[in-house]
Amino acid sequence: MGKSFYLVEFDNAAMDFPQTADSPAIVLATLNAKYIHASLGLRYLLANMDLHGCAGLRARTQLREFVIQQRPVQIVESLLALNPRVIGLGIYIWNVVETTQVVRLLKILRPDIKVVLGGPEVSFETESQEICRLADHVVTGWGDVSFPKLCRALLDGPRPLMKIIQGEQPPLEALALPYTDYTAEDLAKRLLYVEASRGCPFKCEFCLSSLDKTAWAFELDGFMAEMDALYRRGARNFKFVDRTFNLKVDFSVRILQFFLDRMAPDLFVHFEVVPDSLHERLKALIVQFPAGSLQFEVGIQSFNPEVQQRISRRQDNDKTAENLRWLVNESQAHVHADLIFGLPGETLESFAAGFDRLHDLAPHEIQFGILKRLRGTPITRHTVDFAMAYDPQTPYTILQTSTIDFTTMQRIQRFARYWEMIANSGRFALALQLLLSPGSAFGHFLAFSDWLWQTTGKTHEFAYEKLVDLLYAHLTSMRGLAQGEVLTALTADYQGSGARGRPQCLSTAPGAAAKENPQAVAQENRRAERQFRHLSQHREAIQKAAAAA
């Protein structure tokens, strides 16, 4: 070939990488989906290093957070610059691909550093995962106690014999709470994740929490003292990760009252609630929250009783509908309702009926998800009976079932993406009313979704002005609606959004907006936009993080 190439191997394991006084012995790290997310799990580990490891271990530990948009080699460079002896990595469904490459590079460059994995993605099926083969140790399940103990052994001996370590689940009162480890920057620019309880008493088979025996509550006085300390430090964005916030009414009442007593213009609180249980004592407090301060995530998942029974989901559908109707009509809380497409036995027709029932209840946002096979969940017991085929790559999305073929599943994938852009964006309040009525909202939007895909061939990177033109074309040419009616709605939506561009369809009808009051439209749009209020406060920080990545 004219030239010879020689590969020179360096035995990094034999090289000396002396630690300096500033070098942490342990680095806790993870790759978040976005900068705005602050890892609660890592902060729990950090808070418990002394308590469950040994005195002084916390002072020898540093926390580093990255985002999945960063290049793995850049992340590795940052980690190796700290020259630790142990690196603990939090592994989740959204970051396992990127983190696998990080671990590959770490073991090539510094095989002497012990890499320890933890998190839900590596708590099950460890034998089949490359990242687990690459790592030195894997802590499955709860890591609050087991990770500090493992670090003590790795640093001071005796060296652990087992690679896979089953995490110890202590009583909650044995854990140090992590909230003092949120920094001033976290408080100012990021969502703060907090939990008043762990676990879930329900057994919905698509969810990892179905493996819990019950729900466990933290001691309330201590937890509320931590929330008060966060608030006094300036925290205003609280996202509770409890699976069943309203399960214990006395606890829920006290927490809601806590935030009511500290109401401020920039306060935002998010809870996940059980949909068919809304006590009158809770309602009495919920109605006192002003608009934009309170958000409820309501997991409906399916209105199909047969599917609910099949996946071990207990839900009173009539009570659920009654509570949703009350939240939407009687309170100013933003209501975010979840549906899952692709559950075993669900058909396109039965899902459409459930979607329409939910849409008629008018939640501010319908979060339309496609079933994913989370590792360890019991949903796999239906794989054979319902011919459930999943993508082997993350996030393990369902590809087809015995009742939903692959082509239909792809149509619904696009539906979900377009629904997020159009319906959940809060920018098309009036046009959406034209698009989804009369009759089946699901049927109308599926027809629009199919048309949009056939017309554009893409699901991302739509400019707002282009979406306005596309909606105009569909409503007038495909639905046959009057041009004046459509232009009036789109013009008012566009002006109400505060955008300053010039969609082509609106440039031909400069007087159309005169028929609608933009201020009234802006007020209508605000209902759908509440879920973005807390994000808008941090948009600049997110953009800077993305640019840096």
Per-residue pLDDT of the chain (549 residues; tens, 9 = 90+): 343 332 333 344 445 566 666 789 999 999 999 999 999 999 999 999 999 999 999 999 999 999 999 999 999 999 999 999 999 999 999 999 999 999 999 999 999 999 999 999 999 999 999 999 999 999 999 999 999 999 999 999 999 999 999 999 999 999 999 999 999 999 999 999 999 999 988 899 999 888 888 889 999 999 999 999 999 999 999 999 998 899 899 999 999 999 999 999 999 999 999 999 999 999 999 999 999 999 999 999 999 999 999 999 999 999 999 999 999 999 999 999 999 999 999 999 999 999 999 999 999 999 989 999 999 999 999 999 999 999 999 999 999 999 999 999 999 999 999 999 999 999 999 999 999 999 999 999 999 999 999 999 999 999 999 999 999 999 999 999 999 999 999 999 999 999 988 899 998 765 544 444 455 445 545 544 444 443 344 333 333 333 333
* 285: Cβ contacts below 8 Å, ≥ 6 apart: 253, 256, 257, 260
The confidence score (pLDDT) of residue 19 equals 63
pTM of the complete model: 0.88
**Into which CATH architecture does domain 12-173 fall?**
3-Layer(aba) Sandwich (3.40)
* Triad 106, 548, 238: Cα angle to 5°: 95
**Into which CATH architecture does domain 184-404 fall?**
Alpha-Beta Horseshoe (3.80)
Domain boundaries defined on the chain: 12-173, 184-404, 427-549
Q: Which of 49, 144, 40 is CA-nearest to residue 92? A: 40
The confidence score (pLDDT) of residue 537 equals 40
The confidence score (pLDDT) of residue 528 equals 42
DSSP string, 217-261: EPPHHHHHHHHHHHHHTT--EEEE--TTTTSSHHHHHHHHHHHHH
Q: Where would I find the beta strands (DSSP E) of 278-319?
A: 294-301
| Main-chain phi, psi angles of 293, to 5 degrees | -105, -20
Q: Write out the H or E segment, with its range, that includes residue 164.
A: strand 164-166
Distance CA 290, CA 263 (A): 9
The confidence score (pLDDT) of residue 523 equals 52
The confidence score (pLDDT) of residue 544 equals 34
The full 3-state SS of 483-495, as one line of letters, equals HHHHHHHHHHHHH
Distance CA 293, CA 231 (A): 15
